Amino acid sequence: MENLVKKYARKLVDAGLAASSGPGIPLVGGLDHALVWNTTAPEIPVLEQLFQHLNINCLVFLRPSPPYDRIIRFLAGRALKGSGRILPQDCETRTFLHDLPVVEHFDLQAIVQALKQRKSVIIQGLDKENPCWGPVVIAPGNVSPEQGFVGVSSVCFACFVTFFSDYLALLKTGNKDPHMDRVFDQVLPFVQTQKSPLPDLMHGPFSKEQDVYAAMVQAGQKIVACGLVDSYFGNISYCWNNTLYISQTGASLDELTGCIDPVPLDGSTSAGITASSELTAHLDTIGRTGCQAILHGHPRFCVIVSMDCDPAQKAACPFSDKCHTHCPTPRHLASVPIVPGEVGSGPFGLCNTLPAAFDTSDSVIVYGHGLFVTGKTDFTQAFSTLTAVENLCTNRYLEQVRHLRHG
Amino acid sequence: MYGWTGKIARIDLTRQKIEIQTLSPDTYARYLGGRGLGSLFLQPCTALNWDHPDMPVCLFTGPLTATAAPTSGRSHMVSMSPLTGLMADSSMGGKIGVQLKRAGWDGIVITGKSDLPVGIEIADERITLVGAKNLWGMTTDAVYQHLAPKKAGLACIGPAGENRVRFAAVITDRHHAAGRTGLGLCLGTKKVKYILVSGTGRTRVKDPEQLKKAREDIFRLTAASPALMGQYGFSRMGTGAMYDLMDNRHMMPTDNFCATRFAPAGKLNANAYARFYSPRKHGCKGCHILCKKISTNHTAGTPMPEFETMSHFTALLGLQDIQLVTAANQRCNSLGMDTISTAVTLSCYREIIKKDFTPVSLLGMLEDIALDRGEGNALKRGAAAYARSMGKPDAAMAVKGLELPAYDPRGAYGMALGFAVSTRGGCHLRAYPISHEILRKPVATDRFSFSGKARIIKIAEDLNAVVDSLIACKFIFFAAGLEEYARVFSAVTGLDVTAHDLMAAGEKIEYNERIINSLKGFDARHDDLPARFFLQPGTGSGQIRVPPIDRAAFVQAKNAYYAVRGLSTDGLPTKSKAKQLGLPWKTW
């Protein structure tokens, strides 16, 4: 357990979500028959009480780094004036977190009550005199500290996407919110407009199985290292020798060693039961395009831009509350199609919309979800496309905001 | 009340009397339904032998039964086990639970003994005891054909339950079973051949709109689950989808758990069944996963074996014929025997006698067991009793008398601990750690480590006690959680309850079972695995080593579990913990 709490504390720092020292250091606790923490901190005595009130075995306490701190503080304040919940519209949050409860102070009972109902809680914590000043995100788990890590990083991702989506929507409706303008200006310097240069990846086509595994592990690590996706989100596959090698469900892209399933294309085994939930979409895309490599990530501005819709058009649309599954309008960003579809292979799953969209493009954005890109024989081209599309989305977003704010 | 009907039928077979019992809303809130309520009714009879006339056989629904809640069509049967001496219980699929609830009953509690074979027929409020002498001796298939239940739900026993087979099952609605712990014999000893139920009512739901929303959240999660709805998930391939995975992970019990890989596995997997039988989907009432598979081609109507049966009737017994597996599965169901216990008992026999089965000898032995003929007489008592009688107790791959399912514990240490401490013996479903150790949900854990597993197992046991009491299917918890089901529960019952409140109820239900079992003489000595797992390695390869389980680490994890569960170091419940949980302390 000690190894795990330290590992996930380190991953939060590496992901840029937390500070490596000082009061912003993340706290990760794990309980078997004894409770262990990654460090000591004044908040821990209070947090230990959560273990007594909740049937959990781990917990992550995150005081997010900029820009997440400013974003979450803003959204938390807004939520507390209303339902007490942040309601992100991105796919991951809709599916797994549902909504994000917010409490005003570091009040044990309020935190317990929120965590009895949802996988995370945000504490606004405006009182800097309080040792537990905020904003803070807390996420517990009942299996492994990894759940807490996933929980807090998902909250940060969801809040980032929500803030930027809502800001664009606000500007498009012609409304003003000086507070939101200020927060936007504060967080803008943290937005990378140009991603890192393309890394040197293994060149395909690959002739040995071990090279396939190595290339996938390398591509996964580089995506994370280049900041193209949050480390946990996404999946990756490569087709070789009539077998699709695909990352396992819930596998972290920067830790793919031992987490890749070989799935024979002839369906002769069902060992792919642990493969990514997007296995069907990958298989159909490979079959349709003849490509060998697929990368899927959740680059933030791809997600944000995919949900951008003209307010007047949206108001008139009969599916305005089901955009993620029923958007009837063929949409593109430049030449990149944007399609609806949920996670997995249900009736509204993206497996029903994604593969056909690859007929006209080597990259496809799924509404509120992320970006899929293909590579003919290796991950180099796919990686390059991933970078280019996210840059395009970022720049397109910023251009729109500039235009709407300043004319 | 919403959710519950508020009525329980007490059926006394000796006096041929039926009484209606009501419980307080507080009791319902504490014990929920299904397994929870069953253990409440079992508790006062703990001092009795399993076959004492006053020992009840309980069949309970839950507050979610016969509502729009996903996978809520199941029911739960509870009594005292003739196989293990522990509390006996088993979840039952099909539609009998829905029918019972629609008939207006939260459950039935059967006591006494009938002199002659009898059927219990329930049509809404009317409960009738019907002579069943003409059905005694019939297979479950024959009973189904004879009674032709159509929309009604039917649970019945086969010859095994009549002939005192300790692992006799109850077969429901032809294709489903309350397989484990010998509940078929519990009914058989009371001379109950069948229970036939039809109902026309509706479960009252407090907030249908909220239920609809909560249901959509669960549907979205199941759609995102590779294990349930994915290309190779249970919905498409059946539970047999696990077959390849268990072999790939080097944890397929082979040759009576002497090895953990089976070379021909690739030809005996779910895909092989799909090609040969072209199965269609079938499932329990109220379920959208539809994990059951029924053949459609020249063998139309043949049920496909579940994963456990596929594995144990091949690798465990050294057999390589999917048609034989299908036939053995059908024969077991028809005779009314649990396929897991049957296969492990036969495997124990094979190891001791040192003689392989042929298709003819295998199917013949199934008949011999169920009909109490020849060597079947010794085998019908289960693997542990048989091995003891042969002077080779270590050949029985069972925990507390319950034969082990198709997951080798050397390949998953949470499973090892879960098997050992389960309140019904060698059971994979009490803690169901394959969720995180194999299927990576909600996140993956290190399957070759005991680190953290004590609390994980305790929490999962509490969760599954809730699942068995609400009632829902455990499979859906590969995707959803109590977070979502608490909202379903609140929408149905109107009670403002959170996931953690339900977990607290689950902890009470689990601890109550520990109290019952302790009164039957069970303690830490029985929370153990067969010695084989500590002495012999599994089948390794270049990438995966499967060493014997380190006994010291296992004991340490078990002791940690006792501490987390609030048990003494002897594995016994304590008065103070019982008081803390609000449970009665051995007062019966």
- What is the per-residue DSSP string for B199-252? -------S-HHHHHHHHHHHHHHHHT-HHHHSTTSHHHH-GGGHHHHHHHTT--
Structure confidence at residue A228 (pLDDT) = 76
| Candidate from B241, B266, B460 with C-beta closest to A273 | B241
Tell me the backbone φ, ψ of residue A37, rounded to 5 degrees: -125, 160
Residue A130 has pLDDT above 70, yes or no: no
Q: Which residues of A touch B452 (CB under 8 A)?
A: 1, 4, 30, 32, 57, 143-144
**B322, B268 Cβ separation under 8 angstroms:** yes
Q: Which residues of A touch B508 (CB under 8 A)?
A: none
> What is the gyration radius of the CA atoms in chain B, in angstroms?
22
Measured in whole angstroms, the distance separating CA B220 from the mean position of its chain's CA atoms is: 27
Structure tokens at B129: 């005891």
Q: Which residues of A touch B455 (CB under 8 A)?
A: 31-33, 57
Any alpha helices (H) in B402-474, and if so which ranges? Answer: 413-421, 434-437, 453-470
Q: Which residues of A touch B479 (CB under 8 A)?
A: none
Structure confidence at residue A194 (pLDDT) = 67
Residue A117 burial (CB count, 10 A)? 17
Helix/strand number for chain B, H first, E second: 25, 16
Three-state DSSP string of A235-262: EEEEEECCEEEEEECCCCCCCCCCCEEE
User: In DSSP terms, which residues pair with B281 in a beta bridge?
Assistant: B293
Q: How far is CA B12 from CA A340, B22, B114, B123, in A?
A: 59, 16, 9, 18
Give the span between the Cα atoms of B266 and B307, in whole angstroms: 14
- Taking an 8 Å cut-off on Cβ atoms, the answer to whether B456 and A344 are in contact is no
Find which of B455, B464, B503, B556 to mutate to test the A interface (most A CBs within 10 Å of its CB).
B455
CA nearest B478 in A: which residue?
A274
C-beta pairs of A94-97 under 8 Å, 24+ apart in sequence: A94/A324, A94/A368, A94/B220, A95/A342, A95/A343, A95/B220, A95/B221, A95/B224, A96/A154, A96/B221, A96/B224, A97/A151, A97/A154, A97/A155, A97/A158
Low-confidence ranges of chain B (pLDDT < 50): none
Decide if B555 touches A, using CB distance below 8 A: no
CATH class of A2-190: alpha beta
Decide if B170 touches A, using CB distance below 8 A: no
Q: Which of B69, B71, B9, B61 is nearest to B36 (CA)?
A: B61
Structure confidence at residue B268 (pLDDT) = 97
| Candidate from B240, B440, B452 with C-beta closest to A248 | B440
CA nearest A57 in B: which residue?
B455
Give the angle subtended at the CA of B554 by the CAs of B550 and B558, to the nearest 5°: 175
Residue B86 domain flag: yes
- Taking an 8 Å cut-off on Cβ atoms, the answer to whether B217 and A348 are in contact is no
Any alpha helices (H) in B393-452, and if so which ranges? Answer: 413-421, 434-437
Structure tokens at A238: 């490569």
Residue B212 burial (CB count, 10 A)? 12
Position with higher pLDDT, B580 vs A2: B580
**B90, B179 Cβ separation under 8 angstroms:** yes
Find which of A98, A144, A270 to mutate to test the B interface (most B CBs within 10 Å of its CB).
A270
Any alpha helices (H) in A138-275, and if so which ranges? Answer: 145-172, 178-187, 209-225
Give the span between the Cα atoms of B466 and B29, in whole angstroms: 11
pLDDT band at A325 (very low <50, low <70, confident <90, very high): confident
B44-59 in b/e form (b: 16+ CB < 10 A) is ebbeeebbeeebbbbb
Structure confidence at residue A96 (pLDDT) = 87
Give the span between the Cα atoms of B464 and B466, in whole angstroms: 5
pLDDT band at A131 (very low <50, low <70, confident <90, very high): low
Decide if B367 touches A, using CB distance below 8 A: no
Q: How many domains does chain B have?
A: 1
Give the span between the Cα atoms of B350 and B157, in whole angstroms: 27
User: What number is the ipTM of this complex?
Assistant: 0.90
In chain B, positions 401-420, which contact chain A (CB-CB < 8 Å)? none
Residue B187 domain flag: yes
Q: Which residues of B touch A348 (CB under 8 A)?
A: 223
Q: Which residues of A touch B269 (CB under 8 A)?
A: 268-270
Decide if B270 touches A, using CB distance below 8 A: yes
β-pairing verdict for B107-111 and B118-123: unpaired
Q: Report the predicted TM-score, pTM, of the whole model to 2 decimal places.
A: 0.94
In chain A, positions 307-366, which contact chain B (CB-CB < 8 Å)? 342-349
Compute the nearest-CA separation of B193 from chain A (Å).
39
Give burial (CB, 10 Å; 0-12/13-18/19+) of A406.
exposed
| Candidate from A32, A276, A345 with C-beta closest to B455 | A32
Structure confidence at residue A94 (pLDDT) = 85
Residue B512 domain flag: no
Tokens 């069953």 map to which residue? B38
Structure tokens at A396: 């397109």
B413-431 in b/e form (b: 16+ CB < 10 A) is bbbbbbbbbbbbbbbbbbb
Residue A52 burial (CB count, 10 A)? 7
Decide if A95 touches B, using CB distance below 8 A: yes
- Taking an 8 Å cut-off on Cβ atoms, the answer to whether B445 and A274 are in contact is no
Compute the nearest-CA separation of B232 from chain A (Å).
5
Per the prediction, chain A carries an average pLDDT of 91
Instruction: Determine the angle formed by the axes of helices B413-421 and B453-470, rounding to 10 degrees.
Output: 60
Query: What 8-state DSSP symbol labels residue B569?
Result: T
Q: Which amino acid is at B455?
A: R
Give the span between the Cα atoms of B438 and A257, in whole angstroms: 16
Give the angle subtended at the CA of B426 by the CAs of B423 and B428, to the nearest 5°: 90
Q: Which residues of A touch B229 (CB under 8 A)?
A: 344-346
Structure confidence at residue B418 (pLDDT) = 98
In chain B, positions 222-241, which contact chain A (CB-CB < 8 Å)? 222-227, 229-233, 237, 240-241
Length of chain B: 588
Decide if A90 touches B, using CB distance below 8 A: no
In chain A, CATH 3.40.225.10 sits at: 2-190, 209-406
Give the span between the Cα atoms of B153 and B170, in whole angstroms: 13
pLDDT band at A32 (very low <50, low <70, confident <90, very high): confident
pLDDT tens digits for range B435-480: 999 999 999 999 999 999 999 999 999 999 999 999 999 999 999 9
Q: Which residues of B touch A152 (CB under 8 A)?
A: none
Compute the nearest-CA separation of A235 from chain B (Å).
13
- Taking an 8 Å cut-off on Cβ atoms, the answer to whether B245 and A270 are in contact is yes
Find which of B232, B249, B466, B490 to mutate to test the A interface (most A CBs within 10 Å of its CB).
B232
Give burial (CB, 10 Å; 0-12/13-18/19+) of A27.
buried
CA nearest B482 in A: which residue?
A117
Q: Which of B40, B41, B42, B44 is nearest to B587 (CA)?
A: B44
Contacts of A221 (CB under 8 A, 6+ apart): A253, A254, A256
Structure confidence at residue B330 (pLDDT) = 97
Give the H or E element holding residue B501: helix B499-519
pLDDT tens digits for range A145-180: 999 999 999 999 999 999 999 999 999 999 889 999
Decide if B446 touches A, using CB distance below 8 A: no
Structure tokens at A257: 């060693």
Compute the nearest-CA separation of A143 from chain B (Å).
6
CATH label of the domain that carries residue B51: 3.60.9.10
Q: Which residues of B touch A271 (CB under 8 A)?
A: 232, 244-245, 248
Structure confidence at residue A198 (pLDDT) = 80
Give the angle subtended at the CA of A102 by the CAs of A101 and A106, to the nearest 5°: 130
Tokens 């591509």 map to which residue? A219
In chain B, positions 81-110, which contact chain A (CB-CB < 8 Å)? none
**Could you give the count of Cα atoms lying within 13 Å of B7 in the half-sphere of its Cβ?**
16
pLDDT band at A225 (very low <50, low <70, confident <90, very high): confident
User: In DSSP terms, which residues pair with B303 in a beta bridge?
Assistant: B294
Q: Which of B195, B252, B235 is nearest to B58 (CA)?
A: B195
- Taking an 8 Å cut-off on Cβ atoms, the answer to whether B243 and A94 are in contact is no
> Could you tell me the residue range of the domain that residue B88 belongs to?
8-198
| Candidate from B224, B243, B486 with C-beta closest to A343 | B224
- Taking an 8 Å cut-off on Cβ atoms, the answer to whether A117 and B440 are in contact is no
Report the range of poorest mean pLDDT among A82-91, A220-229, A248-257, B69-78.
A220-229
| A-to-B residue pairs, Cβ atoms closer than 8 angstroms | 171
Residue B116 domain flag: yes
| Candidate from A1, A142, A274 with C-beta closest to B459 | A142
pLDDT band at A199 (very low <50, low <70, confident <90, very high): confident
Give the span between the Cα atoms of A74 and A179, in whole angstroms: 8
CA nearest A275 in B: which residue?
B226
In chain A, positions 12-71, which contact chain B (CB-CB < 8 Å)? 30-33, 53-57
pLDDT band at A196 (very low <50, low <70, confident <90, very high): low
Compute the nearest-CA separation of B210 from chain A (Å).
14
Decide if A118 touches B, using CB distance below 8 A: yes
Three-state DSSP string of B6-49: CCEEEEECCCCEEEEECCCHHHHHHHCCHHHHHHHHHHHHCCCC
User: In DSSP terms, which residues pair with A31 in a beta bridge?
Assistant: A35
Structure confidence at residue B19 (pLDDT) = 97
Q: Which of A297, A290, A305, A314 is nearest to A362 (CA)?
A: A290
Residue B180 domain flag: yes
| Candidate from A56, A116, A345 with C-beta closest to B231 | A345
- Taking an 8 Å cut-off on Cβ atoms, the answer to whether B232 and A273 are in contact is yes
Q: Which fold has domain A209-406?
A: L-fuculose-1-phosphate Aldolase (3.40.225)
| Candidate from A33, A267, A344 with C-beta closest to B224 | A344
Give the span between the Cα atoms of B325 and B302, in whole angstroms: 12
Decide if B544 touches A, using CB distance below 8 A: no
Structure tokens at B312: 């144990």
